[in-house]
Structure 1
Amino acid sequence: MVVRVSLSITLGGDLSAALRDDLLAIVQSEGLALDYDAEPFTADDFPADGPLLIYAHEVAWGRVDRLEGFCVAHDLPFARWSGGSAAQFGPERAVFTGTGEASLYAADEDDDVVITMDRVERLGSYEAIMAYFAAANFRVPPLRFVA
């Protein structure tokens, strides 16, 4: 049986206007909307001047791999929160800054990043701990469709 949890994802950055319909199709195929249990996402729902924040309940494993893969392929930063499932996996935040690979962070059910004593010891300093939290709380830029 597939474990299903809630998630939210914020994405932004510059995307070719020619790929707008591709992004729309992926968002719709993932069952995402402007709020939990809201009407299905439409082209009119793209933000005019900010990042795109979308939600869904009952997402298999709390993952939207197709959308995240599209974002990585087109250098679109994102931050995703996924809820946890008892005895399966905990809540997490995934952050992609537009380059490299997505980083995963342990979180709670309110999308607050949490840190273990083991992680504190591995980071080793207050400055490193604060840098860890800053990276986890990456601010996604506005989504813009460019010519």
Structure 2
Amino acid sequence: MEEAGDCLKRLAKQLSGKELLWQAGNEQHPYGPKKGRGRGDGDRLKVLFSERHDMADRVSAHILIGGTLSRGKYPALVQAISNDNPAIDWDGTPFDPTNIPANAPLALMDHEVAWGRFEAIEACCHRLGLHYVRWSNGYIGSFPSIRVVYPGHGEPETFLTTEGDDQIFSIEHIRELGSVEAIEAEYRRAKLNPPPLGLVDDDLIDEVTIHG
């Protein structure tokens, strides 16, 4: 006959999106009884299943990715895209790793992005030195619409925008910048879109990086 503990483990594996909790007396312990307490101590064990609720604020967002990448590192980017699961258009067309735009940056988007960030993709771009620009809509009472520009090095720069991705300059920020020249320079940085995403053979990546 199947042991109770083995049965519970089997049930836990079969239930997706659930969390297995054991209750011994008034205590709850994830995945099993607290060390030192077992079925033989007279406690009544219960199995409780609680839904994991996603409390993130979700908004529309899109990201453009460009730069030069070796074919050997391309799978890392593909995996990051798979993790965030955006589409190539607002209608939800899935990303196809074999179909990269020839003369444009890779464009990805989604209507339901947690906190407006493609966390896996952006982290991968930082590691690989890829240029990206991400726009995300605002969420009332939580965060504004922004455009984030990462040129492939250094730190990303964030700019306030409208829902139509037009840059906003508050009066306070204008005073901080102090001149028309500084305002125009920031405007140009905010509009710096990535180059096309190009894949090259691994033995050519150093030469491409040096000579552009």
Structures share a fold, TM > 0.5?
yes
Q: Tell me the equivalent position of 2:163.
A: 109
Q: Between Structure 1 and Structure 2, how many residues are aligned?
A: 147
Q: Tell me the equivalent position of 2:94.
A: 40
Instruction: Return the alpha-carbon distance in structure 2 between the equivalents of residues 55 and 90 of structure 1.
Output: 18
Deviation at 1:85, TM superposition (A): 0.6
Counterpart among 6, 11, 17 of residue 65 in structure 2 = 11
Amino acid at match of 1:145: L
Larger RCO: 1 or 2 (CA < 8 Å, sep 6+): 1
Could you state the TM-score of these two structures normalised by the residue count of structure 2? Answer: 0.67
User: Structure 1 residue 53 and structure 2 residue 107: aligned?
Assistant: yes
Q: Tell me the equivalent position of 1:84.
A: 138
Q: Tell me the equivalent position of 1:71.
A: 125
Amino acid at match of 1:91: S
Instruction: Return the alpha-carbon distance in structure 2 between the equivalents of residues 77 and 24 of structure 1.
Output: 16
Sequence identity (%): 37
User: Structure 1 residue 135 and structure 2 residue 189: aligned?
Assistant: yes
Moved beyond 3 Å, runs of 4+: none
3-state DSSP of counterpart to 1:72? helix
Could you state the TM-score of these two structures normalised by the residue count of structure 1? Answer: 0.95
Structure 2: unaligned runs, 5 residues or longer = 1-54, 202-212
Bigger shift: residues 46-55 or 10-19? 46-55
Instruction: Return the alpha-carbon distance in structure 1 between the equivalents of residues 58 and 143 of structure 2.
Output: 11
**Cα deviation 1:11-35 (Å, max 9, x = unaligned):** 1000111112221121122111110
Structure 1: unaligned runs, 5 residues or longer = none
User: Structure 1 residue 122 and structure 2 residue 181: aligned?
Assistant: no
